[in-house]
Structure formats: structure tokens, C-alpha cells
Amino acid sequence: MKKRKFSMTGILFLSFSGMIFFFLLLITFCVSANFSQTFRESSNEKYENLFDQANGQLSMVFYNMSTLSAVLDNSPELISAINLSSRGNNTYERLQNEALAQKMLMSASNYYPYIRNITILKNGNRFSMTSSDLPPIPELSEDSSVFEALISGEKEHLVLSAEDSGSYLYIRAFQRTRIEPSPGILIVELQADFLNQCLESVASDDGAVILAFDAKQQLLYTNRTDDSDFLQEQIPLLASTASGEQVSLGKESYLLTRKTNAFSDWTLVSLVPASASARILYPIYLQILPLFAAVLAVCLLLTFLLSRLITHPFRPLLSSMRRALTGDFSFRPYATRVTEIDTLISGYSRMVARINSQIEEIQRIEKEKRKTELEILQTQISPHFIYNTLNSIRYLALMQDSPRIAEIIGSFSSLLQLTSSHPNELILLSDELQEVSCYIDIMKFRYNAPLRIRWEIQENTRQLKTLKLILQPLVENCFCHAFPQPTDEGQIIIRSRTGQGQLILEIEDNGKGFSHTGPGLPASSGNRHHNIGLTNIQKRIRLWFGDGCGLTIRSLPGQGTLVTLTQPILEEQETTSVEIQPKETNT
């Protein structure tokens, strides 16, 4: 599957756009989180302030009750009427004192409209401003420990709720002094509406749930009367949750704010729905969204311009590279303001210049090659003319009864034919040995040298490849330097074999020799042609096969010379050897 490719401009644009979009989202998230936190803090602070106001009103009510209790506790007329009513045996006098106490209690309650009844329990008697009974609350039983706690001073006062009667009771000790042998209990019954009036000032325009519960976790008030039973069940959870934290009630999450009234030990709670923050923040988001879109659009535009500005210096370079694919390597260097791009342009310019130079050199070589080939084609007639002429002379020598001359002319003709018929540098070893054989015949005739030639050729090496005319210079050195004077004892051995993955060719003679042993060539001698021949062979071998191949010469004065040539084994691959006509000799 072919991979999709992108331009550098597109990659830069997408990269910068992605980063900008990510940062804008991050900023938006942080702003939203900050707004939400600010909303929670402001909501918590708002309801704490409202609860402080409500607690202030509640505390004022209970402070008034405390003041009223102190006034009644210190009223001589009321105390006298209660005591006389309790001790007197005269019914008329007792009723008269009870009526006086009731009148005084009723007079005291006129100052506070939310007082429903005032009752004093003392010496087993009950004195009330009305004839109504006390609400049925377990704490008001005669054997209640609450009375003992109030009389003993363990508690200063007590506030109880009477659900059935819809009222609240403020209770404290009456006439608790050291000289009083039997102190009583003062009970002020308050209408439940006063709590509603105090909490109605706690506005809930954000859909908050307002509720109050007492120390026994009994629900006293809520603005959601339909959910009273559910809220009553959740009071233990609300009581254990810290103010300012979130609490889950059912499927809804709420922000809880809580305040406790120290006088009554009542707890006021507000539950602001979490969705309220979304409703409040929604208009803010609507204002931020256009700003966000505008900033994003400006950033995208700047990103696009910046990406084009970054990639603009590359455009001439890319255009030149596209032209280079079609063979046009023309390029005019230009300068930019970016060091790295200038370095890239400079390197590409030098590379294009080298390519153009190499192309021109190749074109020049090809032109010279075509010229040379044309010259070769034009001069091909010359070798054929020489072959025909030599063959004519050879047949003439045979007709004149000169077989030796005919043999030498045939060898020379065969040598010319072999050397000029191989267009490649590599030929079969069998063809190279045939060339050497023809050359030896010519040299023996030329120097009139009765040398013995011994061939030690492994048959499996004849079809291996070697360099053309690689052995002829070595054989020539044997004739020219090993045997400068004709001798009947002279011998030249030509060997071929394989070993250690190499083709090994050896030329050995028993001539005069010289002092040299080991790889490499001997030091320069007076014969320049001799040194040039060995040097050329060494260069050709190493050029073709590397430095691990080449000539090794071992020679000692008076003991002959052994020249060893090593090269890799090259198998024949579509190589055709040249057929040489057999020599004709006189019988």
C-alpha cells in the first residue's frame, strides 16, 4: 500500500495549528476550571453570608427569649404569686395568685409576637399564659433528665422542636439560686413561622435547596417540602460532609454550604446544583466562544503565513531537483537568511556542478570512443591485409621448400590473429597459452635458442579466465634476461594450477637469475623495458583483482627465477575462444 505523502508546508501548518489548538483548549479548560472554582467559592461565600444573617436573626430571637427569661426570673410579683399559689390552702387565694401569674406571663409575651405560650413548672404545679397543654415531647416528661441538667446548671438552655404542634420550645431553669430549695422550669413555646421567616431571606435564585435540622438530625425546615422525606434520609450524609464540598444526592450533584447556630445547635444547609454553575457560566462561554474562534482564525492565518515563509526558500531548490529528474541540472545558487538553508543550497550547487562536469567528461569520452571505434572500423582492413599477405608468404616459402620460414610466418600470423581477435580484457587461459606458444616459436627462431619448453597445465584451468597478454611479457623476460646467450641447457617451465580459491600461474627458468625473494617487484635495473613490463602486469592484476593478488618473484644468482602470478578463479561465462588454424610443416 502506497503511503500518503504530505508537503512540508502542510506538515508545518498542521503541526503549528495542532499546537495552537491544543494550547487554546488548555487555556479554555483552565479558564473554565477557574470559573467553576470561582463559582463554587462565590456560591459558598454567598450562602455563608446569608446563613450568617439568618443565624443572626435566630440568635436575636433566642437572645430575646434569654432576656425574657431573666426578666421573669427576677420578677418579685411573679415569684410571689407562684409561691403563694403553691403554698396557700385557701382556694380563692390560690386561684387569685394563679390568675395574677397568668396575667403577668401574658403581659410578658406581648413584646414578642412569635411567642405562642409561656409555661412555668414549679413545685409540681404548672403556670401558663394559656390553658393549652404542652406539646407531647418525651423530653418534657416529669422524669426527664433534661430538667435535671437544666436545674443543675449542666445546660444553660435547650431548644426543642414539636413537630405535631408546629412549634419550638425554649427551655431553661427558673429560680435556680442557692437559697431556692426547689427551682422550676421555664418553657417558652415559639411559633414555627419565625424560623421560616428567618430562612426566607436566604434567596435561592440558583435553584438551591435550603434546609435546617437540629442536633438530633431532625429536619426543621426546607424550601422543598415535596422532598422532605428524601432530605430527612440524607441528613446523616449532609452532616458528615464538609462545607464547600460536593455531595451526590440521587442522580444530582450539589455544592454544600453549612452553618451551625451556636445558640440553638441548629444546622443550616444549602445545596446548590452543579448544573447551576453551567447555567451561570453558559453566557460567559457564549462571550468567550467568538473570541476563541477569532483568536483561532488569526493563529491559523499566522501559522499558514509562517509555514509558507519557512518553506519559501526551499522552492527554487525543489524546482531544480524536479528538473534534475528530467536531466536538466541547471541551477543558479541564491542566498537566504537561514544559515542551514544556505549550507544546503551551497552543497547542492557543488553537487550539481560536479554532476555537470562528470556528464561533460562522459560525453567527451563517449565522443572520443565513437571516434576511436570509427577509426578502428576504418583500419580493420589492415589486419586482414597483413594476415593474407603473411599467409601468401608462408605458402610461397613452402613452395620454395623452406618449412622453417613457413612455420615462423604461421606462428606470427596466428599470434596477430589471437591478439587482435579478443575485444575483451579477460580471455580463456587456453587462448592465453596458445598465444604464448606462438610467441615462443617466434622467439626461438629469432634468437636461435635451443631452449626446452615444458608445459605443466592442469586441465581444469584451461577454461578459467585470465587477463589478456599477461604471460607473454614474463616469457619475454626469460629469453631476454635469463638466457642472454644461447645455451643447450636452458629450460622454461610454464605451470597452471588452483589452490586456496585462486588461479596460480608460474613461469620458471634455470637462467642466470638475480638477487630477489618475496612479493613485489625487484629494484629498478638498467633495462627500462624489463621494469615497465613487470610494473604494467602488477598494475593490471591489482586494478582488476585487488591488492591481495599480483606477482611474487623468487630468484638467486646462478639458480634461475620463479615468477608466480595469483588471481581469483574466474569461471567461463559466454566466452568464445578464437580458433587458430593448425600450423603447416613440411614432412
Identify whether 304 is part of a domain.
no
Residues 167 and 203 in one domain: no
Measure the CA–CA gap between 581 and 577, rounded to whole angstroms: 13
Residues 386 and 365 in one domain: no
DSSP state of 158: E
382: Cβ–Cβ under 8 A, 6 or more apart, which residues? Answer: none
Confidence of residue 374 (pLDDT cuts 50, 70, 90): low
Q: What pLDDT is attached to residue 551?
A: 92
Largest CA-CA distance found in the chain, in angstroms, rounded: 200
Whether the per-residue pLDDT at 564 is higher than 90: the answer is yes
Q: What pLDDT is attached to residue 481?
A: 86
Identify whether 8 is part of a domain.
no
Q: What pLDDT is attached to residue 383?
A: 58
Q: What pLDDT is attached to residue 345?
A: 86
Confidence of residue 579 (pLDDT cuts 50, 70, 90): very low
Residues 523 and 423 in one domain: yes
Whether the per-residue pLDDT at 581 is higher than 60: the answer is no
Residues 48 and 96 in one domain: yes
Residue owning grid cell 593474407: 388
- For the ranges 127-136, 243-252, 466-475, the lowest mean pLDDT is seen at 127-136
- Domain end (from 136, 171, 188): 188
Confidence of residue 196 (pLDDT cuts 50, 70, 90): confident
Residues 171 and 223 in one domain: no
Residues 273 and 391 in one domain: no
Residues 25 and 167 in one domain: yes
**Could you give the number of structural domains in the chain?**
4
Name the nearest CA neighbour of 122 among 164, 93, 151.
Answer: 151
- Domain end (from 378, 410, 438): 378
The partner residues of 221 in beta bridges, in order of sequence, read 212
Residues 388 and 273 in one domain: no
Q: What pLDDT is attached to residue 146?
A: 67
Contact between residue 562 and residue 508 where contact means Cβ atoms under 8 Å apart: yes
Identify whether 469 is part of a domain.
yes
Q: What pLDDT is attached to residue 577?
A: 38
Identify whether 269 is part of a domain.
yes
Whether the per-residue pLDDT at 141 is higher than 50: the answer is yes
Measure the CA–CA gap between 405 and 145, rounded to whole angstroms: 160
The tens digit of pLDDT for each residue in 213-235 reads: 888 888 888 888 888 888 888 98
Whether the per-residue pLDDT at 4 is higher than 90: the answer is no
Identify whether 180 is part of a domain.
yes
Q: What pLDDT is attached to residue 583?
A: 38
Whether the per-residue pLDDT at 586 is higher than 60: the answer is no
Whether the per-residue pLDDT at 494 is higher than 90: the answer is yes
Q: Which helix (H) or strand (E) holds 126?
A: strand 125-128
In this prediction, residues 504-526 reach a mean pLDDT of: 79
The tens digit of pLDDT for each residue in 392-451 reads: 666 666 766 677 777 777 777 776 766 666 667 788 999 999 889 888 888 887 777 788
Instruction: Tell me the three cell numbers of residue 276.
Output: 447551576
Residues 342 and 420 in one domain: no
Q: What pLDDT is attached to residue 569?
A: 93
- Domain end (from 254, 278, 302): 278
Say how far residue 482 (Cα) sits from the centre of its chain: 77
Kindly list the distances between the CA atom of residue 379 and the CA atoms of 175, 375, 484, in Å, as whole numbers in the listed order: 154, 6, 37
For the four alpha carbons of 520, 524, 529 and 530, in that order, the dihedral sign comes to: negative
> What is the end-to-end Cα distance of the chain in Å, rounded?
79
Instruction: Tell me the three cell numbers of residue 14.
Output: 498542521
Identify whether 11 is part of a domain.
no
Query: What whole-number percentage of the chain has pLDDT above 90?
Result: 9
Residues 181 and 217 in one domain: no
Q: What is the pTM of this model?
A: 0.47
Residues 160 and 210 in one domain: no
The tens digit of pLDDT for each residue in 6-53 reads: 666 777 777 777 888 888 788 877 877 777 777 777 878 888 888 888
Instruction: Tell me the three cell numbers of residue 248.
Output: 451526590
Q: What pLDDT is attached to residue 492?
A: 93
Q: What pLDDT is attached to residue 381?
A: 46
Identify whether 164 is part of a domain.
yes
CATH of the domain at 413: 3.30.565.10
Q: What pLDDT is attached to residue 29?
A: 78
Three-class DSSP category at 530: helix
Measure the CA–CA gap between 157 and 188, rounded to whole angstroms: 11
CATH of the domain at 228: 3.40.1840.10
Whether the per-residue pLDDT at 508 is higher than 90: the answer is yes
Whether the per-residue pLDDT at 527 is higher than 60: the answer is no
User: How crowded is residue 384: how many other Cβ atoms within 10 Å of its Cβ?
Assistant: 11
Average pLDDT over the chain reads 79
When comparing pLDDT for 576 and 239, which is higher?
Answer: 239
Measure the CA–CA gap between 97 and 164, rounded to whole angstroms: 32
Residues 175 and 217 in one domain: no
Most confidently modeled of 128-137, 254-263, 403-412? 254-263
When comparing pLDDT for 423 and 298, which is higher?
Answer: 298
- For the ranges 22-31, 279-288, 350-359, the lowest mean pLDDT is seen at 279-288
Give the domain extent around 335: 329-378
Instruction: Tell me the three cell numbers of residue 365.
Output: 569520452
Most confidently modeled of 84-93, 223-232, 310-319, 511-520? 223-232
Identify whether 518 is part of a domain.
yes
